[in-house]
Amino acid sequence: MSLKNRPYDIVLIGATGFTGQLTADYLLKQHPPIKLALAGRNPEKLSQIRELLLADNPTAPTPDIIIADSHDMVSLRKLCAQTKVVISTVGPYALHGEDLVAACITQKCDYVDLTGEPQFVSDMQRKYGADATKQGVKIVNCCGFDSIPHDLGVFFTLEALSKKLGAEVLQQSAVSVEGFVRGHGDISGGTWNSAINAMPNWQDFIRERRQQYKHTAADGRDIRLVEKPTLRKLKDGWAAPLPTIDPEIVVQSAKRYRHYGQSFRYAHFVVVPQLHRLAMTGAAVAGIFVVAQFAKGRTWLGKQRPSGAGPAPEERARHWFNVEFVAEVKTPTQETVKLSTLVSGGDPGYDETAKMLAESALCLLQDKVDLPTNFGVVTPAEAMGSHLVKRLQAAGIAFEVK
Question: Which of the four pLDDT bands, split at 50, 70 and 90, describes residue 372?
Answer: very high
Task: Please indicate, yes or no, whether residues 102 and 174 belong to a single structural domain of this protein.
Answer: no
Contact between 194 and 115 (Cβ < 8 Å)? yes
Cα–Cα distance list, 361 to 83, 92, 95 (Å): 12, 20, 23
Tell which wins on pLDDT, 349 or 281. 349
Of the given ranges (45-49, 242-246, 254-258), which has the lowest mean pLDDT? 242-246
Q: Please indicate, yes or no, if residue 270 is contained in any of the structural domains.
A: yes
CATH number, domain of 359, equals: 3.40.50.720
Task: Please indicate, yes or no, whether residues 375 and 262 belong to a single structural domain of this protein.
Answer: no
Reference 18, options 55, 45, 58; nearest CA is 45
Cα separation, 137 vs 110, in Å, equals 5
Cα separation, 145 vs 307, in Å, equals 17
Task: Please indicate, yes or no, whether residues 154 and 210 belong to a single structural domain of this protein.
Answer: yes
What is the domain range of residue 82? 3-144+355-380
Mean pLDDT of 6-15: 97
Task: Please indicate, yes or no, whether residues 242 and 199 belong to a single structural domain of this protein.
Answer: yes
Mean pLDDT of 90-106: 95
pLDDT digit string, tens, across residues 311-335? 888 999 999 999 999 999 999 999 9
Q: What is the pLDDT of residue 198?
A: 66
pLDDT at 267 over 70: yes
Task: Please indicate, yes or no, whether residues 202 and 334 belong to a single structural domain of this protein.
Answer: yes
What SS3 state is found at 241?
strand
Of the given ranges (126-140, 165-179, 293-307), which has the lowest mean pLDDT? 293-307
36-40 sheet: strands from edge to edge: 64-67, 36-40, 8-13, 83-88, 110-113, 138-140, 376-378
Specify which residues 264 forms β-bridges with.
Answer: 175, 223
Task: Please indicate, yes or no, whether residues 107 and 155 belong to a single structural domain of this protein.
Answer: no
| Mean pLDDT, all residues of the chain | 90
Instruction: Please state whether beta strands 174-184 and 222-225 pair in parallel, antiparallel, or not at all (unpaired).
Output: unpaired
Cα separation, 305 vs 292, in Å, equals 14
Q: What is the pLDDT of residue 293?
A: 76
Q: What is the pLDDT of residue 234?
A: 93
Q: What is the pLDDT of residue 280?
A: 65
Cα separation, 81 vs 336, in Å, equals 52
Tell which wins on pLDDT, 289 or 119. 119
Q: Please indicate, yes or no, if residue 386 is contained in any of the structural domains.
A: no
Q: Please indicate, yes or no, if residue 127 is contained in any of the structural domains.
A: yes
Q: Please indicate, yes or no, if residue 401 is contained in any of the structural domains.
A: no
Of the given ranges (152-161, 299-308, 352-361), which has the lowest mean pLDDT? 299-308
pLDDT digit string, tens, across residues 104-137? 999 999 999 999 999 999 999 999 999 999 999 9
Task: Please indicate, yes or no, whether residues 331 and 253 belong to a single structural domain of this protein.
Answer: yes
CATH number, domain of 229, equals: 3.30.360
Task: Please indicate, yes or no, whether residues 296 and 364 belong to a single structural domain of this protein.
Answer: no
Task: Please indicate, yes or no, whether residues 286 and 374 belong to a single structural domain of this protein.
Answer: no
Task: Please indicate, yes or no, whether residues 166 and 204 belong to a single structural domain of this protein.
Answer: yes
Backbone angles phi, psi at 203, to 5 degrees: -65, -35
pLDDT digit string, tens, across residues 198-239? 667 666 656 665 565 555 667 889 999 998 888 999 999 999
Q: What is the pLDDT of residue 187?
A: 65
As for how many domains the chain has, the answer is: 2
Q: Please indicate, yes or no, if residue 399 is contained in any of the structural domains.
A: no
Neighbours of 264 (CB within 10 A): 26
Question: Which of the four pLDDT bands, split at 50, 70 and 90, describes residue 169?
Answer: very high
Task: Please indicate, yes or no, whether residues 193 and 294 belong to a single structural domain of this protein.
Answer: yes
Mean pLDDT of 383-392: 98
Task: Please indicate, yes or no, whether residues 217 and 329 belong to a single structural domain of this protein.
Answer: yes
Q: What is the pLDDT of residue 302?
A: 66
Q: Please indicate, yes or no, if residue 200 is contained in any of the structural domains.
A: yes
Contact between 183 and 329 (Cβ < 8 Å)? no
What SS3 state is found at 312?
coil
Percentage, residues of the chain above pLDDT 70? 84
| DSSP labels, 39-108 | EES-HHHHHHHHHHHHHH-TTSPPPEEEE--TT-HHHHHHHHTTEEEEEE--S-HHHHTHHHHHHHHHHT
pLDDT at 91 over 70: yes
DSSP 8-class letter at 199: G
Q: Please indicate, yes or no, if residue 194 is contained in any of the structural domains.
A: yes
Q: What is the pLDDT of residue 186?
A: 72
Cα separation, 395 vs 388, in Å, equals 10
Contact between 328 and 336 (Cβ < 8 Å)? yes
Reference 108, options 134, 75, 140; nearest CA is 134
Burial (CB < 10 A; 0-12, 13-18, 19+), residue 402, is exposed
Q: What is the pLDDT of residue 211?
A: 61
Identify the helix (H) or strand (E) that includes residue 281: helix 275-291
Q: Please indicate, yes or no, if residue 397 is contained in any of the structural domains.
A: no
Mean pLDDT of 269-289: 69
Percentage, residues of the chain above pLDDT 90? 75
Q: What is the pLDDT of residue 139?
A: 98
Instruction: Please state whether beta strands 263-272 and 320-330 pair in parallel, antiparallel, or not at all (unpaired).
Output: unpaired
